[in-house]
Structure 1
Amino acid sequence: MPSSESTTIAHGTETAPAGSIRLDRVTHEYGRGGETFTAVGPVDLTVPAGEFLVLVGASGCGKSTLLRLIAGFERPTHGSVRVSGTEPRPGDAAGVVFQTPRLFPWRTVRGNIDLALRYAGVERTQWPARRAELLARVGLEGTENRRTWEISGGQQQRVAIARALAAENPLLLLDEPFAALDALTRERLQEDVRRVTERTGRTAVFVTHSAEEAVFLGSRIVVLTKSPGTVALDLPVPLPRGDVDAEGLRDSPEFAALRAQVSHAVKTAAAA
Structure 2
Amino acid sequence: MPSPEPGTAAAGAVVAPAAEAPAIEIDHVEHVYGTGAGAVTAVGPVDLTVAAGEFLVLVGASGCGKSTLLRLIAGFEEPTSGSVRAGGAVPRPGRGAGLVFQQPRLFPWKTVGGNVELALRYAGVSRQERAARVPELLAKVGLTDVAHRRTWQISGGQQQRVAIARALAVENPLLLLDEPFAALDALTRERLQEDLRRVSAATGRTSVFVTHSVDEAVFLGSRVVVLSARPGRVALDVAVDLPRTGLQPDELRGLPAYAARRATVGHAVRDAAAT
TM-score for both structures, normalised by structure 1: 0.92
Deviates more, 1:250-259 or 1:182-191: 250-259
Tell me which residue corresponds to 1:26. Answer: 29
- Is 1:143 aligned with 2:133? no
Amino acid at match of 2:105: R
Alignment of 1:33-182 (within 5 A): 33-182=36-185
Amino acid at match of 1:148: T
Separation (CA, whole Å) in 1 of partners of 2:24 and 2:139: 28
- Is 1:270 aligned with 2:273? yes
How many residue pairs get aligned? The number is 258
Secondary structure of the corresponding residue to residue 236 of structure 2: strand
Amino acid at match of 2:96: A
Structure 2 CA distance for partners of 1:90 and 1:51, relative to 1, 3 Å: same
Residues 17 and 85, structure 1, Cα contact 8 Å, conserved in 2 = no
Instruction: Give 1:61 deviation, angstroms.
Output: 0.1
Instruction: Name structure 2 gaps, 5 residues minimum.
Output: 1-17
Separation (CA, whole Å) in 1 of partners of 2:223 and 2:243: 12
Tell me which residue corresponds to 2:249. Answer: 246
Residues 22 and 49, structure 2, Cα contact 8 Å, conserved in 1 = no
Separation (CA, whole Å) in 2 of partners of 1:265 and 1:145: 45
Secondary structure of the corresponding residue to residue 265 of structure 1: helix
Residues 174 and 205, structure 1, Cα contact 8 Å, conserved in 2 = yes
Instruction: Give 1:93 deviation, angstroms.
Output: 2.0
Instruction: Give 1:19 deviation, angstroms.
Output: 7.1
Structure 2 CA distance for partners of 1:109 and 1:17, relative to 1, 3 Å: farther
Alignment of 1:221-240 (within 5 A): 221-240=224-243
Secondary structure of the corresponding residue to residue 83 of structure 2: strand
Instruction: Give 1:129 deviation, angstroms.
Output: 1.1
Tell me which residue corresponds to 1:11. Answer: none
Amino acid at match of 1:258: R
The sequence identity of aligned pairs, in percent, is: 71
TM-score for both structures, normalised by structure 2: 0.91
Separation (CA, whole Å) in 2 of partners of 1:16 and 1:255: 31
Residues 46 and 233, structure 2, Cα contact 8 Å, conserved in 1 = yes
Residues 249 and 255, structure 1, Cα contact 8 Å, conserved in 2 = yes
Separation (CA, whole Å) in 1 of partners of 2:247 and 2:202: 13
Amino acid at match of 1:138: V
- Pick from 204, 207, 223 the counterpart of residue 210 of structure 2: 207
- CA RMSD in angstroms comes to 1.4
Tell me which residue corresponds to 1:219. Answer: 222
Amino acid at match of 1:215: V
Alignment deviations for residues 216-271 of structure 1 (CA, whole Å, 9 cap, x no partner): 00000000000000000000001123453111001221111111111110000000
Residues 19 and 202, structure 1, Cα contact 8 Å, conserved in 2 = no
Secondary structure of the corresponding residue to residue 165 of structure 1: helix
Structure 2 CA distance for partners of 1:67 and 1:250, relative to 1, 3 Å: same
Residues 174 and 207, structure 1, Cα contact 8 Å, conserved in 2 = yes
Secondary structure of the corresponding residue to residue 59 of structure 1: coil
Separation (CA, whole Å) in 2 of partners of 1:166 and 1:196: 12
Residues 224 and 240, structure 2, Cα contact 8 Å, conserved in 1 = yes
Instruction: Give 1:187 deviation, angstroms.
Output: 0.6
Separation (CA, whole Å) in 2 of partners of 1:17 and 1:148: 40
Separation (CA, whole Å) in 2 of partners of 1:86 and 1:242: 34
